């Protein structure tokens, strides 16, 4: 079931189209990556989801019903441009922001106690924000984003500006929230974290959605049946014994280890390749080359057709 | 609705607890009290002896003006014209002219002076004259009683009928001998004061709204907040919260200034003649009775007492309730009218340094209103005064000045001006909120007026 659905969302600023008929479906309980280069329209889209902006055209559905003002209590949003009131004490500020999210003062205090304990911020309750280190401020920002335990969490470039320790902390918390049933949308161009966390993605480029779906499915459609094989006990060219339909893309020798990349025909199986190789070489390993999200991102954004070339295919 | 209250509360509490607010709250009244007390103190403390020439055509007041440490009176026997021409050359402080009246007792006099007449001198002359007139009337009544023609007269009637008031017109004589009539001072002062107060209030707290918006933008907290509340709620909450801070400060100033002035003046009177402070307060309240109880006192303490008396009498001549009611209205709505614009400007820029280009539409009408105020004072019901008090951009300042004068029966003008100001406020807020909601999310972009105009069309 989809928790959130956007249908043909279009947003214009002046003559410029920031979003052009963007439709996405966010499955419940998933971690949904919203990818795209800078200026593609990700932030505009996220602002529309948060009801900060209104779309010029298109519809939005949350839990099966059109998105309503009350739904923002079920959404937690950590914007890319985030900050706190510098002169305000952090405890007081956190209560204020939690109350704006609809919590009562009493509930806010109780929950903040838990989070401040967890993030080791207890002693800082009465300190002003400007006295805190950047990392601590980011922890506070994260806390106020999730304090009302929303059904849907939206993070816009959540890891930018976080140090590696806090990045890990954040990742753990994000996964923890998913375990408890929350759905997470996060916008990023950090592809490593996409690989690590996301199970669905949508790729926006030039205001349009150019790719979306389950991460594994996408990778499957982008893979080229290319395998990397390591073997020993061989000198010469593998092309000499392989059928011509098996395309050798690369071969090199490192310390008596022979490494080669071979693309097999679409109807062939990995076993066919092994069968061809076995009489001639001693196989040490065989791996299918799965395109990374980074490759897919670059390929789709720069408009190269994945079928005719791959970023890793350099003919020898 | 609940959220707006939360925002108002935050805006209010964070500002009221600031050190600068507390310092301003204490310093403001001290400064204002000093403005009130110091001139009084100096006026009474001055060692310079002022000479006042008197031309008394009636003869009733001969030798009635007693010399004091600071004021000497000397009587001239010449006609007013030659006295006036010689007055400009003489070192005399002022020239008092009591013209002859045919049938009634003289109730008015003219006081010529080179500079603004010291209020003590003026009130002393006034007191002496009214007391003398009361004596004259009392004599006449007593004569009537003796004749027995009006046996029904009771003491009360006597007291009431002898109550005499004297008008003294002060005329300033310039070096060229030109005469200018002074305006009714109290109306003028009150009008100017309330006009300038509104002007400052708008600027002071309007720019606080602007700074608050810029702060939220540069802090980058704005997007966190507008994901929980509507930008309009945030803007209105900020405007209302800061407005309440302004009202709080204003009320504290009024209360503190009032108490400092009261304490200051009474302790200062105490120093002059110990033990009479209470008596003087009583005098101030029962001005008619003083004349009977304490005749012929002309010491400087008396003058101080009369000073309070005078001011009180002048204040009594104004319908305070009337003025204050409208003051509060124009104070609040003048602020609201401009605050939305200040908020819009704050949202359109990245830092305070960039606000310059957009400040003009706000500064210009307000400064213009203050500049025009002096013309409005001269002609409080003229066409300039009328139009400027209708246009919402200038009406809070100009209408306050006009209201301090008697506006006659033109209540429709007040109501029309108020209605236009409320409409202006709604229109401004509507426009400002459109600019605001786009502006707060805009970073690193130099915005032009053309751009702002386009923002009005965006759907948010």
DSSP for B135-158, please give it: HHHHHHHHHHHHHTTTTT--HHHH
User: Which of A54-58, A130-134, A268-272, B85-89 has the weakest average pLDDT?
Assistant: B85-89
- Number of domains chain B is built from: 2
Assess whether B228 and B324 both reside in one domain. Answer: yes
What pLDDT score was predicted for residue B270? Answer: 53
Nearest Cα residue to B72 out of B97, B50, B100, B54: B50
- Interchain contact A99–B (C-beta under 8 A): yes
Same domain, B93 and B76: yes
Q: Do B460 and A52 touch (CB under 8 A)?
A: yes
Angle at B71 between CA B69 and CA B75, to 5 degrees: 130
Q: Are residues B168 and B242 in the same domain?
A: no
Token reading at B256: 């503190």
What torsion do the CA atoms of B213, A115, A126, B204 make, to the nearest 10 degrees? 10
User: How far is Cα A300 from Cα A201, in angstroms, rounded to an integer?
Assistant: 13
Note the pLDDT of residue A13.
82
Are residues B17 and B75 both part of a single domain?
A: no
Residues B348 and B372 in one domain: yes
> Which CATH number fits the domain that encloses residue B70?
3.40.190.10
**pLDDT for residue A316:** 30
Selecting from A13, A77, A96 the residue whose C-beta is nearest the C-beta of B6 gives A96
pLDDT along chain B (460 residues), means of 10: 87 91 87 75 64 83 78 81 79 82 76 72 81 82 65 60 70 56 63 86 91 90 88 93 92 85 69 45 42 38 46 55 83 93 90 84 89 82 86 90 72 89 93 89 79 77
Q: Is the pLDDT of residue A263 over 80?
A: yes
Contacts of B7 in chain A (CB under 8 A): 100
Q: Is B456 on the interface with A (CB under 8 A)?
A: no
Using a pLDDT cut of 90, give the percent of chain A over it. 23
Contacts of B231 in chain A (CB under 8 A): 52
**Angle B345-B348-B351 (CA atoms, 0-180°, nearest 5)?**
90
Please check the confidence at residue A153 and state whether its pLDDT lies above 80: yes
Judged by DSSP in three states, B446 sits in: coil
Compute the distance between CA of residue B289 and CA of residue B159 in angstroms, rounded to an integer. Answer: 9
Q: Are residues B196 and B88 in the same domain?
A: no
pLDDT at position B136: 82
Beta-carbon separation of A99 and B215 below 8 A: no
Instruction: Look at B224 and A83 and tell me if their CB atoms are within 8 Å.
Output: yes
- For residue A148, what are its two tokens? 């009302």
Cα B171 to Cα A199, A244, B185, B298: the distances in Å are 91, 119, 13, 24
Claim to verify: residue B81 and residue B207 sit in the same structural domain: no
Question: Does A100 sit within 8 Å of B6, measured CB to CB?
Answer: yes
Asked whether residue B392 falls in the same domain as residue B427, the answer is yes
Lowest mean pLDDT among A90-104, A243-257, B144-158, B233-247: B144-158
- Cα separation, A200 vs A197, in Å, equals 9
Cβ atoms < 10 Å from Cβ of A179: 9
Q: Which of B112, B67, B108 is nearest to B86 (CA)?
A: B112
Q: How many CB atoms lie within 10 A of CB B234?
A: 26
Whether B305 is covered by a domain: the verdict is: no
| Domains of chain A listed by start with CATH number | 2-219 (3.40.50.300), 224-289 (3.30.70)
pLDDT of residue B303: 43
B224: contact with A, CB 8 A cutoff: yes
pLDDT for residue A258: 85
Provide the token pair at A96: 């204020």
What is the pLDDT at residue A164? 85
Query: Is A82 in CB contact (< 8 Å) with chain B?
Result: yes
Tell me the average pLDDT of chain A: 85
CA distance A139 to A103: 19
The distance in angstroms from the start CA to the end CA of chain B is 20
Q: State the nearest Cα–Cα gap between B237 and chain A, in angstroms.
A: 12
d(CA A215, CA A200): 5
- In eight-state DSSP terms, residue A280 is T
* Mean pLDDT along residues A134-145: 88
B221 in A contact zone (CB under 8 Å): yes
Taking only residues 312 to 371 of chain B, the set having a beta carbon closer than 8 angstroms to any beta carbon of chain A reads: none
How many residues does this entry show for chain B?
460
Question: Which of B10, B228, B443 shows the shortest C-beta gap to A81?
Answer: B443
**Does the beta carbon of A50 lie under 8 angstroms from any beta carbon of chain B?**
yes
**Interface touch B219/A83, C-beta < 8 Å:** yes
What does the pLDDT average to over A236-245?
Answer: 79
Nearest to B227 among A50, A83, A84 (CB): A50
Q: Which residue of B has its CA nearest to A92?
A: B10
Say if CB B284 and CB B309 are below 8 A apart.
Answer: yes
Average pLDDT over residues A20-41: 89
Instruction: Assess whether B100 and B10 both reside in one domain.
Output: no
A10: closest chain B residue by CA: B459
Whether B232 is covered by a domain: the verdict is yes
Q: Is A170 on the interface with B (CB under 8 A)?
A: no
- What is the maximal distance between C-alpha atoms in chain B? 96
- Contact call for residues A1 and A28 (beta carbons, < 8 A): yes
Between the CA of residue B358 and those of A233, B225, B421, what are the distances in Å?
A: 79, 25, 22
pLDDT at B98: 84
Q: How far is CA A55 from CA A6, A11, A46, in A?
A: 10, 5, 11
pTM score of the predicted model = 0.72
Q: Residue B207 sits in which domain range?
A: 2-36+187-260+318-455
* Cβ pair A81:B454 closer than 8 A: no
Give the chain A residue whose CA is nearest to the CA of B215. Answer: A85
């Amino acid at each position: 079931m989809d928790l959130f659905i956007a249908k043909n969302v279009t947003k214009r600023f002046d003559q410029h189209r920031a979003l052009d008929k963007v439709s996405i479906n966010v499955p419940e309980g998933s971690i949904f990556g919203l990818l795209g280069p800078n200026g593609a329209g990700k932030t505009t889209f996220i602002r529309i989801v948060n009801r900060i902006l209104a779309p010029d055209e298109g519809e939005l559905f949350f839990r099966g019903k059109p998105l309503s003002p009350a739904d923002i209590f079920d959404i937690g949003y950590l914007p890319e441009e985030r900050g706190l009131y510098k002169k305000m004490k952090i405890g007081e500020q956190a209560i204020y922001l939690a109350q704006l999210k609809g919590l009562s003062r009493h509930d806010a205090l109780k929950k903040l106690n838990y989070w401040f304990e967890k993030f080791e911020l207890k002693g800082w309750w009465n300190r002003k924000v400007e006295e805190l280190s950047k990392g601590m401020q980011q922890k506070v920002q994260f806390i106020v984003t999730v304090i009302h335990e929303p059904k849907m969490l939206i993070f816009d470039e959540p890891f930018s500006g976080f140090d590696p320790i806090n990045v890990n902390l954040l990742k753990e918390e994000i996964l923890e929230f998913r375990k408890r049933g929350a759905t997470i949308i996060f916008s990023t161009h950090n592809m490593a974290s996409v690989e690590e966390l996301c199970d669905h993605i949508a790729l926006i480029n030039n205001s349009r959605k150019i790719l979306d779906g389950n991460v594994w499915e996408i990778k499957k459609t982008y893979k080229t049946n290319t395998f990397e094989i390591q073997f020993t006990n061989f000198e010469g060219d593998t092309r000499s014994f392989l059928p011509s339909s098996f395309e050798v893309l690369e071969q090199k020798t490192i310390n008596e280890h022979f490494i080669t990349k071979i693309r097999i025909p679409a109807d062939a199986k990995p076993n066919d390749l092994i069968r061809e190789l076995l009489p001639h070489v001693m196989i040490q390993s065989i791996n299918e080359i799965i395109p990374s999200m980074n490759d897919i991102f670059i390929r789709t954004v720069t408009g190269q057709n994945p079928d005719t070339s791959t970023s890793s295919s350099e003919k020898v | 609705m609940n959220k707006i209250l939360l925002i108002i509360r935050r805006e209010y509490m964070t500002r009221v607890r600031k050190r600068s607010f507390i310092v301003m709250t204490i310093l403001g009244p001290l400064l204002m009290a000093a403005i009130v007390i110091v001139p009084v103190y100096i006026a009474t403390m001055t060692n310079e002896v002022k000479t006042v020439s008197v031309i008394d055509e009636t003869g009733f007041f001969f030798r009635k003006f007693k010399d004091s440490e600071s004021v000497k009176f000397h009587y001239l026997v010449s006609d007013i014209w030659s006295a006036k021409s010689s007055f400009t050359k003489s070192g005399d402080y002022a020239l008092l002219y009591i013209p002859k009246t045919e049938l009634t007792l003289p109730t008015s006099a003219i006081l010529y002076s080179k500079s603004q007449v010291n209020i003590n001198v003026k009130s002393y002359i006034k007191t002496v004259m009214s007391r003398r007139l009361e004596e004259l009337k009392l004599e006449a009544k007593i004569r009537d009683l003796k004749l027995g023609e009006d046996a029904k007269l009771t003491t009360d009637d006597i007291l009431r009928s002898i109550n005499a008031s004297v008008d003294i017109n002060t005329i300033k004589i310039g070096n060229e001998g030109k005469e200018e009539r002074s305006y009714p001072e109290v109306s003028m002062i009150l009008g100017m004061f309330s006009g300038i107060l509104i002007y400052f209030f708008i600027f002071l707290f309007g720019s606080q709204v602007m700074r608050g918006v810029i702060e939220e933008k540069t802090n980058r907290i704005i997007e966190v907040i507008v994901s929980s509340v509507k930008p309009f709620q945030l803007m209105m909450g900020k405007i209302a919260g800061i407005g309440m801070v302004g009202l709080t400060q204003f009320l504290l100033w009024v209360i503190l200034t009032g108490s400092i002035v009261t304490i200051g003046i009474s302790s200062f009177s105490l120093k002059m003649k110990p033990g009479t402070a209470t008596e003087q307060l009583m005098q101030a309240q029962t001005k008619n009775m003083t004349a009977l109880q304490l005749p012929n006192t002309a010491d400087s303490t008396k003058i101080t007492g009369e000073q309070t008396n005078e001011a009180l009498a002048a204040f009594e001549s104004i319908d305070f309730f009337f003025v204050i009611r409208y003051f509060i209205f124009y104070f609040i709505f003048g602020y609201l009218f401009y605050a939305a614009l200040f908020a819009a400007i704050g949202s359109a820029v990245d830092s305070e340094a960039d606000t310059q280009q957009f400040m003009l539409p706000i500064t210009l009408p307000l400064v213009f209103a203050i500049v025009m105020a002096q013309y409005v004072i001269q002609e409080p019901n003229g066409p300039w005064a009328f139009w400027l008090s209708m246009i919402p951009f200038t009406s809070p300042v100009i209408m306050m000045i006009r209201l301090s004068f008697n506006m006659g029966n033109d209540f429709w003008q007040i109501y029309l001006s108020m209605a236009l100001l409320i409409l202006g406020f709604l229109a401004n807020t509507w426009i400002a909120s459109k600019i605001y909601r786009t502006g707060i999310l805009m970073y690193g972009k130099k915005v032009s007026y053309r751009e702002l105009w386009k923002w009005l069309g965006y759907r948010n």
